[in-house]
Amino acid sequence: MYELIKDPSVLTFVKRPASIEYHRIFDTINETGGPHFLHGVAIEQWQGKLAACFALNMALENSITEQLMITWSEDGGRSWSNPESITEPAPYANSHSVFLPLKDELWCFGPRFMGLGERPQTKKGHFGIHFVDLHTEAWKLTDTGWQSMGIVADGFWPLSAPVKLDNGSWMLAGCSTMWMAAIAISRGDDLTHWDIVLPDTDGEVFTEAGAWADGSKVFLVLRNGTLRSGDKYHAAVALSEDFGKTFAPCELSNLPMCTTKPFCGRLSDGRPFLVFNQSIDGAPHDRSRLLLGVGKKGSFQIDKVYLIDEGQPIPAGRRLMLSYPYAREFDGKLYITYSNESAPNVGPNNNDAMLAIVDIDSLN
């Protein structure tokens, strides 16, 4: 079992950072008149403004009516513009995506697919998800709006912020057509051609990868949807030592993480961080507790943990769900976006878009 967290006992007494503030990017019920699917909020800074994108669907999650929306803030995230679609109307879904600012250009990479197909079954009998005709589409912001750069990869859904590798290529972490862990590697700075690598999950549902890189090493933190350790789920991990071309077999870690997407990133001082949902005793699937772990420079491990948010208690005896984090550091602050269940009993993944802003000095 890989030691992803140095001392799991620190999870018992987790406090919020000394300096943290919260803002609602999009209130789905108030803005659309009712609860609807919203998920996968990503954030980026561009030309003095903040941009946030997310998936919005007035019908069912992962159906072809899914749209990729973008909204802007000019006051540090306190208020946001009316969301607009990045994509043109089309007979397929464009869902939640990721940003890449490169030189004087802002790119966005996300999935294009034709809804869901028959659920695949692994060699161990576990069921996954089939995204029909899944491709990665790229867009670039121009003076006249977002321009599609076409299909840049096949069978891949990016879920984490792009990472620059020491060999000059870029890496995206995410999942495959069959909802298994995957990464995409660019051909140098050519962002229109990406090669897909699929770690061997050995028939388990290890998916929705986040990634750290250090030299030639690429380290994945994976959502574990099948293997319980006692009454909890623990994150799975996989290591590559050749810039992500091949991976050692996946293994479980000692980090209790529920069945949802993690986010791996690195602070400007080189420390790795991980935003994740803690797997809780008695409720291993519960998504109400969102944590931030920070490690030491040069490691693939966290040793300090902070509470980012906790879902509001509701009469049903649970808390509202928080999930699918994304995070970027700008101007000495860590901006963490995530989905926040809009209200009790409104359906799966009917969320608002939330933002937590953490002062980096409060993590020292």
DSSP string covering 68-89, please?
EEEEEESSTTSS-PPPEESSPP
Instruction: Spell out the domain ranges in the chain.
Output: 8-363
Residue of higher predicted confidence among 281 and 17: 17
The mean pLDDT value for 91-110 works out to 97
The pair phi, psi for residue 12, each rounded to 5°, is -70, -35
Q: Is the pLDDT of residue 345 over 90?
A: no
CATH code assigned to 8-363: 2.120.10.10
Cβ partners under 8 Å of residue 121, min gap 6 = 127, 128
Angle at 77 between CA 261 and CA 213, to 5 degrees: 40
Q: What is the pLDDT confidence band of residue 107, given thresholds at 50, 70 and 90? A: very high
Q: What is the pLDDT confidence band of residue 275, given thresholds at 50, 70 and 90? A: very high
Q: What is the pLDDT confidence band of residue 279, given thresholds at 50, 70 and 90? A: very high
Q: Is the pLDDT of residue 55 over 90?
A: yes
Mean per-residue pLDDT over the chain, rounded: 97
Q: What is the pLDDT confidence band of residue 230, given thresholds at 50, 70 and 90? A: confident
* C-beta of residue 61 within 8 angstroms of C-beta of residue 39: yes
Closest C-alpha to 326, from 174, 133, 116 = 174
* C-beta of residue 316 within 8 angstroms of C-beta of residue 324: no
The mean pLDDT value for 300-326 works out to 95
E strand intervals along 250-350: 251-256, 263-266, 272-277, 289-294, 304-310, 322-330, 333-341
- Return d(Cα 299, Cα 14) in angstroms, integer: 22
- Return d(Cα 340, Cα 221) in angstroms, integer: 22
Alpha carbon of residue 208 to chain centroid: 8
Q: Is the pLDDT of residue 281 over 90?
A: no
The mean pLDDT value for 168-195 works out to 97
Tokens of 136: 């990665």
pLDDT per position as a tens digit, 316-344: 889 999 999 999 999 999 999 999 999 99
pLDDT per position as a tens digit, 152-175: 999 999 999 999 999 999 999 999
DSSP string covering 93-137, please?
EE---EEEEETTEEEEEEEEE--B-SPPB-TTS-B---BTT-EEE
What is the pLDDT at residue 282? 86
The mean pLDDT value for 192-214 works out to 98
The mean pLDDT value for 262-266 works out to 98
Cβ partners under 8 Å of residue 358, min gap 6 = 17, 19, 20, 292, 306, 308, 333, 334, 336
Q: Would you tell me how many other CB atoms lie within 10 Å of the CB of residue 115?
A: 16
Share of the chain above pLDDT 90, in %: 95
Q: Is the pLDDT of residue 347 over 90?
A: no
- Return d(Cα 174, Cα 163) in angstroms, integer: 12
Closest C-alpha to 89, from 142, 39, 148 = 148
Q: What is the pLDDT confidence band of residue 211, given thresholds at 50, 70 and 90? A: very high
* C-beta of residue 339 within 8 angstroms of C-beta of residue 39: yes
- Return d(Cα 182, Cα 157) in angstroms, integer: 8
Question: Which residue stretches of the chain are H helix?
Answer: 28-32
The residues facing 151 across adjacent strands are 137
Instruction: Please report how many Cα atoms fall inside a 13 Å half-sphere around the Cα of residue 2, on the Cβ side.
Output: 21
